């Protein structure tokens, strides 16, 4: 069976590292992006240059119509998705709850929660053996913030990732008998540019000393964990929340 992976927010950071590694492991890959076409296209070109198969598709995965268009594009170009990596995520400027607007909350929760539900729904419709599919795997990219709450900086982001923990547990039970495994990896502080979005581009270096391993993580390390969760080596793992945060 052809292995087809969709990575949301796949043009940078953990998503890009996952797409590249997946291609090297034999997956045909769809790199989803919202706005940075140049970065996504460069990654697609790199995968193709290495002999892989990849497409880059623009879509805001917090919008149902765009999710439907995204999955239709993958169906047409690569075939039905067999592996979904819900990776897209957003955080906003550091602040306390008393200063958060409802517009900010809606942006964070739509991107970090609703998109995971919409994309997983479409993946299940294609993977479920009950619906004629051949099974597959879903990995949700959560965050260690769901354990410590990120008070005073990103409590909205942390809450959104807590929702993904629960979603992972519930969906894994819902589709476990239909050939679909659902797991979550919860990265710690990782060297990606998401920290700049929150106004703290040096956050990983600032917090490295609080990690028992005394360093931040690299996107490639999280990608390895994601590929393990999707591979045959973890065939009896579903509903797992896998912490990849250097024991922080």
pLDDT 10s digits, 4-25 = 999 999 999 999 999 999 999 9
Q: Is 236 a catalytic residue?
A: no
Q: Is residue 40 part of a domain?
A: yes
Query: What's the CATH code of the domain at 172?
Result: 3.40.50.720
How many domains would you assign to the chain?
A: 1
Q: Is residue 216 part of a domain?
A: yes
State the Cα–Cα distance between residues 193 and 169, nearest whole angstrom: 29
Q: Is residue 138 part of a domain?
A: yes
Q: Which two tokens stand for residue 51?
A: 């002999």
- Whether the per-residue pLDDT at 149 is higher than 80: the answer is yes
Give the pLDDT of residue 194.
78
Sign of the Cα torsion 202, 208, 209, 211 reads positive
Which residues does 201 contact at the CB level (< 8 Å), separation at least 6? Answer: 193, 195
Say how far residue 161 (Cα) sits from the centre of its chain: 11
pLDDT 10s digits, 29-86 = 999 999 999 999 999 999 999 999 999 999 999 999 999 999 999 999 999 999 999 9
Q: Which domain holds residue 188?
A: 4-243
Sign of the Cα torsion 75, 185, 15, 59 reads positive
State the Cα–Cα distance between residues 117 and 112, nearest whole angstrom: 9
47 with 27: CB under 8 angstroms?
Answer: no
**Vertex 207, ends 184 and 227: CA angle to 5°?**
25
- Whether the per-residue pLDDT at 247 is higher than 90: the answer is no
The residue length of the chain stands at 248
Q: Is residue 158 part of a domain?
A: yes
- Whether the per-residue pLDDT at 195 is higher than 70: the answer is no
DSSP state of 190: B
- Whether the per-residue pLDDT at 3 is higher than 80: the answer is yes
pLDDT 10s digits, 89-144 = 999 999 999 999 999 999 999 999 999 999 999 999 999 999 999 999 999 999 99
Phi/psi at 7 (nearest 5 deg)? -115, 115
Q: What is the dihedral of CA 173, 177, 178, 181, to 10 degrees?
A: 50
- From the list 27, 154, 157, 191, the catalytic residue is 157
- Whether the per-residue pLDDT at 180 is higher than 70: the answer is yes
- Whether the per-residue pLDDT at 248 is higher than 90: the answer is no
Give the pLDDT of residue 190.
94
State the Cα–Cα distance between residues 224 and 232, nearest whole angstrom: 14
pLDDT confidence bin for 167, thresholds 50/70/90 = very high
Q: Is residue 248 part of a domain?
A: no
Q: Is residue 121 part of a domain?
A: yes
Q: Which two tokens stand for residue 118?
A: 């919409």
State the Cα–Cα distance between residues 181 and 52, nearest whole angstrom: 25
């Amino acid at each position: 069976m052809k292995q087809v992976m969709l990575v949301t927010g796949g043009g940078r950071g953990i998503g890009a590292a996952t797409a590249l590694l997946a291609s090297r492991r034999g997956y045909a890959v769809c790199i989803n992006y919202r706005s940075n076409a140049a970065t996504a296209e460069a990654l697609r070109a790199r995968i193709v240059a290495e002999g892989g198969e990849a497409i880059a598709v623009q879509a805001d995965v917090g919008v149902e119509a765009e999710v439907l268009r995204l999955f239709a594009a993958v169906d047409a170009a690569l075939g039905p998705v067999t592996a979904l990596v819900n990776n897209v995520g957003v955080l906003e400027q550091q602040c306390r709850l008393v200063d958060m607007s409802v517009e900010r909350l809606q942006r964070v929760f739509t991107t970090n929660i609703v998109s995971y539900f919409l994309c997983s729904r479409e993946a299940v419709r294609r993977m479920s053996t009950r619906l004629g599919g051949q099974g597959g795997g879903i990995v949700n990219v959560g965050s260690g913030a769901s354990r410590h709450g990120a008070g005073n900086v990103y409590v909205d982001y942390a809450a959104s990732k807590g929702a993904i923990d629960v979603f992972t547990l519930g969906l894994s039970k819902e589709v476990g008998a239909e050939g679909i495994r659902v797991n979550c990896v919860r990265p710690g502080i990782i060297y990606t540019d998401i920290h700049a979005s929150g106004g703290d581009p040096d956050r990983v270096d600032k917090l490295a000393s609080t990690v028992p391993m005394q360093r931040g993580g690299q996107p490639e390390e999280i990608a390895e964990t994601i590929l393990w969760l999707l591979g045959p080596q973890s065939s009896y793992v579903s509903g797992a929340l896998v912490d990849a945060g250097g024991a922080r």
